[in-house]
Amino acid sequence: GQGLINTLCLPPDKFDLEGVRCIVAGWTKNEQNVQILKKATVPFVNHDQCQTLLRKTRLGLYFNLDQSFMCAGGEEGRGACTGSGGSPLMCSIPSWSSQYSQVGIVSWAIGCGMKDVPGVYTSIGKVAEWINSELQNRSLKI
């Protein structure tokens, strides 16, 4: 619908999200198979803590979370769900701007909104250099 789509900033090269709550939003289908827009506020989870939590799942003790990923969530009933892959993870970066930046892209999760099981996102910060070079190659300005 109208008014539901807008632009987001790309994050700075380095940023700290410790203690920050972010927003994940995306289209999903309800029981009647109708597409609806959903959003949830989720806490940022640092990489080491996320890996520790994910090792307690079926992934096992030897699971290594690649540095290209970041995590958020781990609260009962909140988070990205099946079908929301590719949706944005948006945060207001305290040291940078009051505007929201897209810091992640929904990548995968175990279950949906489970306690102590954060969702996993592709980190925009890890691919920002590539995004900027692609924009330059296409003479696009942001």
State the 10-residue block means of pLDDT for the chain, 142 residues long.
Answer: 74 86 86 84 96 97 96 90 83 83 93 92 90 87 68
pLDDT of amino acid 105: 95
pTM metric for this prediction: 0.87
Q: What confidence score (pLDDT) does residue 142 get?
A: 64
- What residue spans define the domains of the chain? 21-137
* Residue 136: other Cβ atoms inside 10 A: 10
The pLDDT score that the predictor gives to residue 15 is 83
**Three-class secondary structure of residue 128 per DSSP:** helix
CA distance 84 to 92: 21
Do 118 and 111 touch, CB atoms closer than 8 A?
A: no
Q: Determine the pLDDT at residue 75.
A: 93
State which fold the 21-137 domain adopts.
Answer: Thrombin, subunit H (2.40.10)
Pair of tokens at residue 35: 């597409």
**Spatial contact of 23 and 43, defined as CB atoms under 8 Å apart:** no
pLDDT for the residue numbered 3 = 65
**What CA–CA distances, in Å, run from 43 to 17, 29, 56, 58, 119?**
9, 24, 19, 22, 10
Spell out the residues 6+ positions from residue 12 whose beta carbon is closer than 8 angstroms to its own. 93, 96, 101
